[in-house]
Structure 1
């Protein structure tokens, strides 16, 4: 057997491509697609954590490394097409609430992330997290997918410049005469038309098309290809665990833990459902996937970044055909390459990836057809879950409102026995968080 044949056989055994109805080419394209839609994190995360006083260049390196490491483990260990990176909402909470708002040093905040990561890993190892997920009713599982779709839509429209902030109405129409908006609309149409004609890699083609046009008419500038990676020393192992414990940051740790738990869990379930990897509402290799993202939080705090989580942008790779861990491994390699080709990775503008996100968001809304629209105690919690995610800009908040509403309606309509005990417990935890700790 030739070397190529041996390599193909090895890849087939590792990722079970035929079983999942995919190919090496499809997985590579899917991985590139996912990477392009979330590559912004290697630039945005250092900027946000830099506002907390952290060295931006070191955070850049930490971001690339933890995204590569966490996603690689997800691909090789759990065999899922899901990418990991520092979470956007979590890094904002870290920088603007914990450090700037509460006055903690960023090293102490990293210590709090480490502690929450240890709790997260413990809950996962004891399989309590898997038990929690299995206690989520079908209605809320569907709502999670729909809510993530709506959340993606808001992110996409904002990135494209179609939606803008408004002091009077919170959101309003952006300036549709600007070239980025026009290019984003064009990219969206390209993706939809190509996909309609079953063109493989339609999403990636749309992203590349808009990026190329951005150099011609969008004012985008080519910034070179290679650059030497900065040192990670300023953030590596700089966390202050003792300071975090001494400062009594229980509130901070609990918020990190809850957001990590439900953001990551909701995203894992939503993306896996979109990929057809949920069987009777369960992910076959769920615990491995949970261990991968739990370990990434722990490792990320050591490298010097805020909590790492599964990314909703993985849905773009799934839509491009990604079904196995080979997609994730591809993403991991590309994140690692960002250490050396940061200028090139930064050439893809946000409005080039926005059409892909919006297209996937539109497709995720079809899950609404699975809801029982005749039972208000089922449909209302689902609607609350889905609507709260984009309107509070938080997957965790959507889950919280959904669980509390679900439990309350079942209680007041005499359907207590129909609710899994874990649903009652989750609703109680969220209610405690809102009443005792506030809404951060």
Structure 2
């Protein structure tokens, strides 16, 4: 096992990988609660979605762990499940069965693009400066989510965002967890982020801020209401609205995953010389999870940016993913205790992880304006729009434009021009 996952080569151990896997699971476990809540508003059975969510995460995470040896989790995407429910099903009036069939088709197209190595080629031709900008942008985005989840910042109609109610008990819990985590990390405590989550959870239960579950073991809900329904609705996808939805799923999922993989492999030290080893296998795992998830009954999964929490603890190989998948499997039987993993508990981990991911910002060539402008807008647009894909779009449009103005168009890979045009069309007709 040590040889298969290359423990020696990546300077890791069973203890380090296990701790990383547990940390990532605790950071992403909320999806088991939130995904059914969101998709049920589209008319789907919440119990079936819970089981489908867990199984999709298990399959996708094991695939990326064994095929690519990455310490990463794959789980249903928060952005895409919201798009599925509120934009597609509620906003456009498309039945969830038909929308899920669209997700399935998008997953199959992704698999074909991955097998043809088209996705891999696109990721590898992204300029190095933009890759560092993408990782940094996701770092700011993750920290923004953590601050919002902890109640430390809140929406404001006049200033867009402002400081939250710092006297709120749940916000104080998040702040306490943040301070404890910072202290442990600075003191060099191995696994400080993981221990921060556990200690914060215990404190929350002691002071009644987190409900102590009345039962521990629960039955696994049936997937009968959702399993396989996509196959009986494939003939309904050939309408302009549904085809537009499929295209949107393709664009957003493609670049959300690309951005996350670039950021996470860079953080884990896997990316070398502007190239990511076995990226094709990782993309195949991600796309396969998309098709399988649709069959089981959940919206599009993606590479989870919360994996950065486990990487920060020391996750370096696919054994971390094996631990994450095992935790999801256990969660199927112990669903009641998932209620103790609240957003306030995981907020400190996300805030701190953002710091680790932003460290690469210094590697962007800020002395050259033609590099600085697209890199900066790539970074800033991710937290401001809550979308990795839109941040990437700004970078992919402006980077070639800036170099063309300098008559350096020969330095740009032809695929970058194609992506530039696609994102312009994306803004013109979809966003």
Corresponding residue number in structure 1 for 2:39: 49
Report the Cα distance in structure 2 between the residues aligned to 1:306 and 1:380, rounded to whole angstroms. Answer: 35
Of 43-52 and 174-183, deviating more is 174-183
Query: Which residues of structure 2 form unaligned runs of 5+?
Result: none
In the TM superposition, what is the alpha-carbon distance from 1:165 to its structure 2 partner? 1.6
Residues 280, 346 of structure 1: alpha-carbon distance in 2 compared, 3 angstrom cutoff: same
What does 1:108-257 align with in structure 2 at a 5 Å threshold?
Answer: 108-223=98-213, 224-239=215-230, 240-246=233-239, 249-257=242-250
Give the secondary-structure state (helix, strand or coil) at the position aligned to 2:162.
Answer: strand
The RMSD of aligned alpha carbons is 1.1
Give the secondary-structure state (helix, strand or coil) at the position aligned to 1:316.
Answer: helix
Corresponding residue number in structure 2 for 1:8: none
Give the secondary-structure state (helix, strand or coil) at the position aligned to 2:246.
Answer: helix
Q: 2:430 aligns with which of 408, 428, 438?
A: 438
Q: 1:98 aligns with which of 80, 88, 92?
A: 88
Report the Cα distance in structure 2 between the residues aligned to 1:61 and 1:394, rounded to whole angstroms. Answer: 27
Q: 1:423 aligns with which of 406, 416, 425?
A: 416
Q: 1:398 aligns with which of 387, 391, 396?
A: 391
Give the secondary-structure state (helix, strand or coil) at the position aligned to 2:219.
Answer: coil
Verify the 8 A CA contact 1:114 1:241 in the aligned structure 2.
Answer: no
Of 160-169 and 22-31, deviating more is 160-169
TM-score by length of 1: 0.95
1:19 aligns with 2:9: yes
What does 1:297-316 align with in structure 2 at a 5 Å threshold?
Answer: 297-316=290-309
Query: Which residues of structure 1 form unaligned runs of 5+?
Result: 1-10
TM-score by length of 2: 0.97
What whole-Å deviation, never above 9, does each CA across 1:177-227 have from its counterpart, x for those lacking one? 012212212211222221222211111110011000001125211112100
Corresponding residue number in structure 2 for 1:294: 287
Of 362-371 and 259-268, deviating more is 362-371
What whole-Å deviation, never above 9, does each CA across 1:274-330 have from its counterpart, x for those lacking one? 000001121111111111101000100000100010000000000000000010010
Verify the 8 A CA contact 1:386 1:398 in the aligned structure 2.
Answer: yes
Verify the 8 A CA contact 2:107 2:288 in the aligned structure 1.
Answer: yes
Of 263-272 and 418-427, deviating more is 418-427
1:318 aligns with 2:311: yes
Q: 1:352 aligns with which of 342, 345, 351?
A: 345
Give the secondary-structure state (helix, strand or coil) at the position aligned to 2:222.
Answer: coil
Report the Cα distance in structure 2 between the residues aligned to 1:207 and 1:134, rounded to whole angstroms. Answer: 35
Corresponding residue number in structure 2 for 1:387: 380
In the TM superposition, what is the alpha-carbon distance from 1:354 to its structure 2 partner? 0.7
Verify the 8 A CA contact 1:184 1:351 in the aligned structure 2.
Answer: yes
Report the Cα distance in structure 1 between the residues aligned to 2:46 and 2:217, rounded to whole angstroms. Answer: 19
What whole-Å deviation, never above 9, does each CA across 1:212-269 have from its counterpart, x for those lacking one? 0001125211112100111011000112211112565221111000111100111011
Report the Cα distance in structure 1 between the residues aligned to 2:251 and 2:129, rounded to whole angstroms. Answer: 21
Report the Cα distance in structure 1 between the residues aligned to 2:284 and 2:12, rounded to whole angstroms. Answer: 25
